[in-house]
Amino acid sequence: MEKIHGIISINKPFGITSTQVVREIKRSSRQKKVGHSGTLDPTAEGVLPICIGQGTRVVENIMEFKKEYIGTIRLGISTDTFDSMGTILKISNVDSISKKIIEENLKIFYGEIKQTPPMFSALKNKGKRLYDIARSGNSIQLTPRNVSVSKIKLIEWRPPNAKILVQCSKGFYMRSLAEDLGKILNVGAHLNYLVRKSVGPFKINESISLEDAIESFKENTWDKYLLNPDFALGKIPSTILDEINENKIKTGQTIFLTLPLEKHKLGDQIKAYGHKGNFVGILSKISENGTWKPDKVFTSNQ
């Protein structure tokens, strides 16, 4: 099969890991470079951008996007994994919990906050996955991390289940939100259901099923789902290069660009397109006089 470069937004189904999705896409597409841009738990479903070929070069950019989740938190039962798959640790009565109480306490999680990730997670400590450490019966002291929540809203309260919408930065765990909310309300809680609605410009209603993606590679119709790598660069400013500068960028050389790009600060990035409209790469400004260097180069012959 020909080389494929770009991103396919998958609506990950419940019950499989993000790594399994990558494995299936890699097998069916017969491409060497395939990766995802942010783990979704096996018990979660929703948007999982899969990067292929040169598309893997924008994984870091995708990970920086805000995410939107809708999760159902089951109050009154806490588990060791903070979700429905774990061992039950505590069962409590939730008769005293009202919609107003939940809404008031959700305000605690708005803005710039510190959050401790779950012990059962794909994060690493000294090269080992936390879930491997946890499954071996060991535990370590986890350091709270800085995360940001730009929106948090109680959508529905049907005791004992609270459906909550969250818009957040990378590194935020909905399972930790459930655990922390349960502690604050003194009844315990776990995340019972989770769907990721969006990752930046990648939306769930524009994503395809894993089955459809696999079928598209079999039928050689994958191009109708493939997004160009520059789709993952959001609102980064762009410029069109003449043929001379385009060739310089493709060979890793620096170039000089005039106004209006002189207004950019050192370190700022732009998207660069060739004289025929093809996406060439991501450039960074390295001098006040308007010198730019290629950070990542995208060419069709790699």
Residue pLDDT, tens place only, 118-176: 876 666 555 666 666 556 566 666 778 999 999 999 999 999 999 999 999 999 999 99
Predicted confidence at residue 122, as pLDDT, reads: 63
Assess whether pLDDT exceeds 90 at residue 50: yes
Question: In the chain, where are the structural domains located?
Answer: 6-65+201-231, 67-199, 236-297
Predicted confidence at residue 157, as pLDDT, reads: 98
Q: Do domains 6-65+201-231 and 67-199 have the same CATH topology?
A: yes
Distance separating alpha carbons of residues 44 and 175, to the nearest angstrom: 11
What CATH code is assigned to 67-199?
3.30.2350.10
Highest mean pLDDT among 199-213, 260-274, 275-289: 199-213
284 to 63, 65, 92: CA distances (angstroms): 19, 19, 55
Amino acid at 278: N
Distance separating alpha carbons of residues 82 and 57, to the nearest angstrom: 33
> What share of the chain in percent tops pLDDT 70?
90
Catalytic-labelled residue, pool 41, 83, 180, 230: 41
Question: How would residue 2 be classed by pLDDT, with cut points 50, 70 and 90?
Answer: confident
- Is 95 assigned a catalytic role? no
Is the CA virtual torsion 82, 83, 89, 91 positive or negative?
A: positive
Question: Please, are residues 256 and 291 in contact by the beta-carbon 8 Å criterion?
Answer: yes
Distance separating alpha carbons of residues 131 and 122, to the nearest angstrom: 6
What would the pLDDT profile of 65-89 be if each residue is shown by its tens digit? 999 999 999 999 999 999 998 899 9
Lowest-pLDDT choice from 56-70, 200-214, 279-293: 279-293
C-alpha 261: how far from chain center: 30
Predicted confidence at residue 74, as pLDDT, reads: 98
Question: How would residue 264 be classed by pLDDT, with cut points 50, 70 and 90?
Answer: confident
Among 242, 235, 246, which residue's Cα sits nearest to residue 280? 246
What CATH code is assigned to 6-65+201-231?
3.30.2350.10
Burial zone of 84 (CB within 10 Å; 0-12 exposed, 13-18 middle, 19+ buried): middle
The CATH number of domain 236-297, selected from 2.160.10.10, 2.30.130.10, 1.10.3470.10, 1.10.3720.10 = 2.30.130.10
- pTM as predicted: 0.90
